[in-house]
């Protein structure tokens, strides 16, 4: 955990067809450029100046081709390209009168479980929050943030949480690449012994060898997040045994098509995927639901809690969260519409 987020900025992208159909996409970064290297302001400038001219006059039905065109002509900028591609898929679905998941080959599931993220606050605060969620029947799976404090202190805090919630909830920890491999080798076995069931991105994204060492050392799964953006990353991680689970996110992957490619690699290697979040509104969350429900390999759950954190949403009918699950929208396109009064 690097910082605390108390607000979220969103970039809305509109794609208009010659028939007057409007597709909506969302650009979002969790807490600014510290995580993904992009910002709302930078995304807008890049979309206006470079991405938009590449799409004018193109055939909307060729969304996969258009996504490849953006990747070929603009290096990086995955968050911006994901927002544009999201709007293309929404418009394409609306033009055919079909939900996006049907354009992707159909849904393998119609709802997804949601893990709740717990912060780096003292153990008693975290325990109280988790118990509130459990008592309300909202979540039974939690992810704790680590890495901001001294390793021994962090481990003691998380161990106290694990002891208090033993037998009541599934627990994972996310280090956001904060430790080096020696620190991870020293402390992660203690977390496994305490009852933590999964370790997310313990070392920096470039340290694939370190991830492989830890995956071999530990008796619980190691999940890659920052280390996997592209299908090429997925191949490297899977062939080197560096991850037991791959976390996918539309923003870091550059859009739905690229995330499906990562999922296909994972499926070929028998590695499950997990649906991550960049704290989206109902627009980005709906897009994630369409992609994740269409992925055979998305079997390790999700953390699509963005709409649950936001005090205000920007759509008429937000995505539906009930009894710990988010439900797949079934309307044309993404199945959500902008509330123009917001």
337 catalytic per annotation: no
SS3 category, 96: helix
What integer is the mean pLDDT of 183-205?
A: 98
Q: What is the CA radius of gyration of the chain?
A: 20
168 half-sphere exposure, CB direction, 13 A CA radius: 16
**Domain limits of the chain?**
10-98, 103-327
Nearby residues of 176 by Cβ (< 8 Å), 6 or more positions away = 1, 2, 35, 145, 147, 201, 225, 226
pLDDT in tens, 30-67: 777 767 789 999 999 999 999 999 999 999 999 999 99
CA separation for the pair 309, 130 (Å, rounded): 15
- What pLDDT is recorded for position 30? 79
pLDDT band at 340 (very low <50, low <70, confident <90, very high): confident
Nearby residues of 252 by Cβ (< 8 Å), 6 or more positions away = 36, 78, 79, 226, 229, 276, 278
CA separation for the pair 159, 120 (Å, rounded): 13
CA separation for the pair 211, 258 (Å, rounded): 23
| 28-37, 51-60, 220-229, 237-246: segment of lowest average pLDDT | 28-37
Catalytic residue among 81, 133, 143, 145: 145
What integer is the mean pLDDT of 211-237?
A: 98
| Average pLDDT of the chain to the nearest whole number | 95
145 catalytic per annotation: yes
Q: CATH number of the domain at 103-327, please?
A: 3.20.20.120
Tell the CATH superfamily of the 10-98 domain: Enolase-like, N-terminal domain (3.30.390.10)
CA separation for the pair 58, 61 (Å, rounded): 9
The model carries a pTM of: 0.95
Tokens 């650009």 map to which residue?
27
Alpha carbon separation from 134 to 62, 124, 321 (Å, rounded): 45, 15, 15
Catalytic residue among 38, 200, 280, 303: 303
For the four alpha carbons of 36, 41, 45 and 48, in that order, the dihedral sign comes to positive
Neighbours of 152 (CB within 10 A): 11
pLDDT in tens, 154-185: 999 999 999 999 999 999 999 999 999 999 99
pLDDT band at 311 (very low <50, low <70, confident <90, very high): confident
């Amino acid at each position: 955990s690097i910082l605390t987020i108390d607000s979220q900025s969103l970039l809305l992208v509109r794609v208009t067809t010659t028939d007057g159909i409007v597709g909506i996409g969302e650009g979002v970064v969790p807490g600014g450029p510290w995580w993904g290297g992009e910002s709302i302001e930078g995304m807008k400038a890049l979309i206006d100046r470079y991405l938009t001219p590449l799409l004018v006059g193109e055939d909307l039905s060729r969304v996969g081709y258009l996504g490849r065109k953006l990747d070929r002509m603009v290096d990086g900028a995955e968050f911006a390209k994901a927002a544009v591609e999201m709007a293309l898929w929404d418009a394409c679905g609306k033009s055919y009168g079909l939900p996006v998941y049907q354009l992707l080959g159909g849904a393998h599931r119609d709802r997804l479980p949601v893990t709740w993220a717990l912060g780096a606050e003292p153990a008693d605060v975290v325990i109280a929050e988790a118990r509130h969620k459990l008592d309300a029947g909202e979540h039974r799976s939690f992810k704790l943030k680590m890495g901001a404090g001294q390793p021994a202190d962090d481990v003691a805090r998380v161990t106290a949480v694990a002891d208090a919630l033993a037998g009541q909830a599934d627990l994972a920890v996310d280090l956001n690449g904060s430790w080096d491999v020696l620190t991870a080798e020293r402390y992660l076995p203690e977390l496994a012994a305490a009852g933590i069931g999964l370790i997310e991105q313990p070392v920096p994204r470039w340290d694939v060898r370190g991830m492989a060492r830890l995956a071999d050392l530990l008796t619980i799964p190691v999940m890659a997040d920052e280390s996997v953006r592209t299908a090429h990353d997925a191949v490297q991680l899977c062939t080197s045994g560096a991850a037991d689970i791959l976390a996918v996110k539309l923003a870091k992957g550059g859009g739905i098509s690229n995330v499906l490619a990562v999922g296909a690699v994972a499926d070929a290697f028998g590695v499950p995927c997990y649906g991550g979040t960049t704290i989206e509104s109902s627009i980005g969350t709906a897009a994630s639901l369409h992609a994740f429900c269409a992925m055979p390999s998305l079997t390790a759950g999700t953390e699509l809690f963005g709409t649950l954190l936001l005090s205000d949403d920007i759509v008429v009918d937000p995505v539906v969260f009930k009894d710990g699950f988010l439900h797949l929208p079934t309307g044309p396109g993404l199945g959500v519409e902008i509330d123009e009064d917001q």
